[in-house]
Amino acid sequence: QVQLAESGGRLVQAGDSLRLACAASGRTYTFSRCAMAWFRQAPGKEREFVASISRNGGLTAYADSVKGRFTISRDNAEKMVYLQMNNLQREDTALYYCAADENAIITSAPKTSRDYDYWGQGTQVTVSS
């Protein structure tokens, strides 16, 4: 069992940077066997994939809309996942969720929400122009 808690979301201006954090509870062994991801959901829109990272951090994947601006990373010893967001734009405004896939193989960084077993409550990012 993995419980996730996101933090770091706030109101920023376009062009600003922000780092989101996701703290996982549970055994370190369990966390290190999970692929992790960030998804987001804007008002009136479906939840969408943002970024994912494999169990050992060796593989990452990004949505085209954030590629080159966002960076996902993880610290297995601390059971943390981060999303560094640079050059934020209004269209990045959304509720950002952290997710864990406990069945991921070591070379996997899934992009679809159905692959993920555990979800946090989300942290709000609002970008003003």
pLDDT (tens digit, 9 = 90+) per residue, 40-79?
Answer: 999 999 999 999 999 999 999 999 999 999 999 999 999 9
Q: How far apart are CA 91 and CA 8, in angstroms?
A: 18
Q: Which among 28, 52, 36 has a CA at the least distance from the CA of 100?
A: 36
Residue 28 has pLDDT above 80, yes or no: no
- Report which secondary-structure segment, H or E, holds 32: helix 28-32
Q: Residue 78 has which token pair? A: 């601390």
* Residue 3: count of CB within 10 angstroms of its CB: 12
Q: How confident is the model over 110-123, as pLDDT tens digits?
A: 999 999 999 999 99
Q: Determine the pLDDT at residue 2.
A: 87
Q: How far is CA 40 from the centre of its chain?
A: 8
Which residue in this structure is represented by tokens 């989300």?
A: 122
Q: Helix, strand, coil % (nearest 5) of the chain?
A: 10, 45, 45
Q: Determine the pLDDT at residue 1.
A: 80
Q: How confident is the model over 83-108, as pLDDT tens digits?
A: 999 999 999 999 999 999 999 999 89
Q: Residue 113 has which token pair? A: 């929400």
Least confident of 8-12, 25-29, 35-39, 58-62: 25-29
pLDDT band at 30 (very low <50, low <70, confident <90, very high): confident
